[in-house]
Amino acid sequence: MPELPEVETVLQALRPHLVNDKFTEINTYVNKLRSPLILSDVQGLLNQPIENLWRRAKYIVLKLKNGYGLIIHLGMTGSWRLESMSVDRQKHDHAEFYLSSGLVLRYNDPRRFGQIVVFEPDCDLIKHKLFVNLGPEPLTDDFSNLWLKRVCKNKKKPIKSLIMDNKNVVGVGNIYASESLFRSGINPLLAGGAISNIRLKRLTRAIKDILRDAIKAGGTTIKDYSSLNGEEGYFYRELMVYGKAGDTCSKCNRGIIRQAYQSGRSTFYCPVCQR
């Protein structure tokens, strides 16, 4: 599933092409993705300048000058292509947005777990049901070692589960949680409340650094993810533990990377480096 760096990469690729452009026609070819897909009859989306795009957690928000807009989630396999109108639609293209620039933006999603939700001018996005329970953005000052200390206080829940909970901090998915815990030397199975303040400060810094590094690399392409028009993300070259079960740790050259399961998700760690 695309995580924060992948969504940020897609956002940065889309923004220069879309801002100040207009949707002249919108077509949909399924009635539902993860939620109902109702776009074709929304006249407020048409022939209005696209004012801005930004990211909240793993969502992309697109706002038009008239206050209408879209909230977009890529789900497991969602991707976008920006191409000439003469290019044929592909299998699993579920929505297309014709632009006044003469191009068409197409949304492709084989597993159909993504979302494209319309909001209207009177919508308070802070209170929107998709956003209201979200925690702080990890790359802002709102996410600090003091915040993480409060999150972990007296918690018996494993630290990896705590930092992957969007109510505590958004966008730290499985790959980047594993890598951040490795970089900070913390065992992912350790209870959050058992970790010292000094180590939590190290983890806070590691999460921020890992996410920034991944954004610079265009995200991580392992299976399904690609950015605009099929561009891969190259952070997979920097992975130290994720997906490396059975390998010798490249940091200590002694530990064998282990794989565990937490809440149905794979967790990777070095038993020597991570205590």
The torsion angles phi and psi of 19, rounded to 5 degrees, stand at -60, 130
Q: Which residue has the tokens 């949707």?
A: 23
| Residue 112 region by backbone torsions, left for phi larger than 0, else alpha for psi between -120 and 50, else beta | left
- Token couple for 226: 């690609």
- Alpha-carbon distance 120 to 186, whole Å? 44
Q: Which two tokens stand for residue 271?
A: 């038993």
Cβ 27 vs Cβ 92: under 8 Å: no
Classify strands 69-73 and 59-64 as parallel, antiparallel or unpaired: antiparallel
Cα-Cα-Cα-Cα dihedral sign, residues 143, 223, 78, 130:
negative
CA distance 198 to 41: 54
CA distance 268 to 7: 23
Residue type at 168? N
- Positions annotated as catalytic residues are 2-3, 58, 265
Phi, psi of 149 (to 5 degrees): -60, -45
Number of neighbouring beta carbons within 10 Å of residue 209:
14
Helix 174-184 vs helix 197-216: crossing angle, to nearest 10: 130
